[in-house]
Amino acid sequence: MIYREFDGCRLSLLGFGCMRFAPDPATGEIDQEKVNAMFDLAIREGVNYFDTAYPYLGGKSETAMAEALSSYPRESYYLADKFPGHSLTHPIDNIALFHVSLRKCRTDYFDFYLLHNITEWSVKYYESREYHILPDLLQMKKEGKIRRLGFSFHGGPDFLEDFLTRHEGVFDFVQIQLNYLDWTLQDAKRKYEIITSRGLGVWVMEPCRGGKLASLPEEAAGKLRSLEKERGSGPLSDASYAFRFLQSLPGVKVILSGMNEVFQVEDNLRTFRKEWPLSEEEREALMDIAETLKKGVPCTGCRYCCDGCPAGLDIPYLLQCYNDYAFAATMPPSMRIDALEEEKRPAACISCGQCAHACPQGIDVPSVLKKLSEMYEKGPHWEEMVRIRQKAISRDLGEK
Ligand code: SF4
Ligand code: SF4
């Protein structure tokens, strides 16, 4: 197993993400025996990092994970959990909810704890004085119940920079969506640089983009098979290339894979057994493949279109949302549109065409915003999803 040092920890670079445990077809409940078998295999081969979150699998991920870890000494692995501030509609007893997670995970501390899903939308709750989330979690850190504090992040790079600046010295690590497609598509390269330049650790989620990079379209996969033929090696899994791309980034300390089948665990373990850097040719092939996979528009974020927009829209931001919709989004893109005031959403475009004239990439912005508006209207809307999640939290806290 490849290990990375971080703040006195020796972390397995492959972390077990606990958000995709498969249900037992007979009962519809999580197949606990399968989870146990996957954990036993992973632990035997050196995996020591397990990541869950309060809302994963309707609240059942924490308990299934705890059950699978129950026969291992607590100090033999690192546990990560997340606070669901993005799922609140009113202030709650944060410390009581934190203790619900401790109880469900059968532990009295988390090695790593994250604010779940910081975005342009959720930040208003996380930074709200009334919600009091950060001070409460910092209190838990002071009491040793949180060993290291971080956050998972789904916003844009400028917002990441601002957020870290506002909270200088508070966080130890940041979990971002990082893979060879999002390296350019979601400007993950810049996010990686922002995080590492501040001396913080990078944790990776969605290394295979919700499975898309683990099962490439025929033509893209063919490029990788040709390379293997040239060097006379057997076929490797598409996923292994995605993981090896990430292994080459020294700031990455943990790569989370949401494994739900034993064969996936076996394949990932093979990839992480030892450092296995990509050759120059392999890296080039992956970058070419990323270009062929991209749907959406080639917005570079230059902002030449913004000054003259009579509606004052943040056009590159909206086009990022569109690109996310266009390529099987891993999170509901409505989350980022719901963050905007009504008059800044795509429907506010009056189709004057000024932006299209200014755009060096020749993007027909008004047509794209019309499509985005239609996609957004279809839903699901993030605000509705949050209302449903809040109900589950209130139930766990015994709120009336
Ligand atoms: S077409 Fe829409 S987005 Fe473009 S400048 Fe006009 S109002 Fe703004
Ligand atoms: S001018 Fe074109 S490329 Fe530049 S930010 Fe606007 S839409 Fe994107």
Which residue type is seen at 107?
T
- Kindly give, in sequence order, each residue whose CB lies less than 8 Å from that of residue 359, ignoring residues fewer than 6 positions away: 304, 305, 365
Among 62-71, 174-183, 302-311, the range scoring the smallest mean pLDDT is: 302-311
Q: Which of 363, 364, 369, 372 to mutate to test the pocket of ligand 2 (most atoms within 8 A of CB)?
A: 363
Length of the chain as a residue count: 400
Output the CA 365–ligand 2 centroid distance in Å. Answer: 8
User: Are 128 and 193 members of one domain?
Assistant: yes
Question: How far apart (Å, rounded) are the C-alpha atoms in residues 372 and 351?
Answer: 13
Q: Which residue range forms the structural domain that includes residue 345?
A: 315-382
Q: Whose CA is nearest to atom 6 of ligand 1?
A: 352
β-bridge pairing 173-177 and 149-153: parallel
Q: Which of 313, 359, 368 to mutate to test the pocket of ligand 2 (most atoms within 8 A of CB)?
A: 359
Q: Whose CA is nearest to atom 8 of ligand 2?
A: 299
| Domain's final residue, options 227, 253, 288 | 288
Residues in contact with ligand 2 by the CB-under-6-Å rule are: 299-305, 315-316, 319, 358-359, 361, 363, 365
Helical spans, DSSP H, in the chain: 32-44, 60-69, 94-104, 123-126, 133-142, 157-166, 182-185, 188-197, 218-231, 238-247, 262-272, 280-293, 315-326, 334-338, 354-358, 365-378, 382-397
User: Are 75 and 178 members of one domain?
Assistant: yes
Cα within 13 Å of Cα(347), Cβ side:
12
User: Are 144 and 264 members of one domain?
Assistant: yes
User: Are 247 and 362 members of one domain?
Assistant: no
Q: Is the pLDDT of residue 2 over 80?
A: yes
Output the CA 213–ligand 1 centroid distance in Å. Answer: 34
Among 159-173, 195-209, 321-335, 358-372, the range scoring the smallest mean pLDDT is: 321-335
Number of domains in the chain: 2
Q: Which two tokens stand for residue 76?
A: 């033999």
Pocket of ligand 1 contains residue 349 by CB under 6 Å: yes
Model confidence at 286, pLDDT cuts 50, 70, 90, reads very high
| Domain's final residue, options 288, 305, 324 | 288
- Segment 255-263 shows an average pLDDT of 92
Comparing C-alpha atoms, which of 246, 227, 243 is closest to residue 235?
Answer: 227
389 located within any domain: no
- Domain of 252, CATH number, reads 3.20.20.100
Q: Which two tokens stand for residue 45?
A: 């081969």
388 located within any domain: no
Output the CA 9–ligand 1 centroid distance in Å. Answer: 50
392 located within any domain: no
27 located within any domain: yes
β-bridge pairing 3-6 and 9-12: antiparallel
Output the CA 368–ligand 1 centroid distance in Å. Answer: 11
Helix, strand, coil share (%) of the chain residues, nearest 5: 50, 15, 40
Output the CA 291–ligand 2 centroid distance in Å. Answer: 18
User: Are 94 and 152 members of one domain?
Assistant: yes
Output the CA 378–ligand 1 centroid distance in Å. Answer: 22
Model confidence at 330, pLDDT cuts 50, 70, 90, reads low
Predicted confidence at residue 393, as pLDDT, reads 85
The CA-based angle 177-362-347, given to 5 degrees, is: 65
Pocket of ligand 1 contains residue 363 by CB under 6 Å: no
User: Are 370 and 267 members of one domain?
Assistant: no
Question: How far apart (Å, rounded) are the C-alpha atoms in residues 285 and 193?
Answer: 23
Predicted confidence at residue 153, as pLDDT, reads 94
Q: Which two tokens stand for residue 221?
A: 């996969």
Comparing C-alpha atoms, which of 31, 43, 29, 99 is closest to residue 73?
Answer: 43
- Segment 278-303 shows an average pLDDT of 87
Output the CA 369–ligand 2 centroid distance in Å. Answer: 13
User: Are 329 and 248 members of one domain?
Assistant: no
- Counting from 1 in the atom list of ligand 1, the atom nearest the Cα of 311 is 7
300 located within any domain: no
Q: Whose CA is nearest to atom 3 of ligand 2?
A: 299
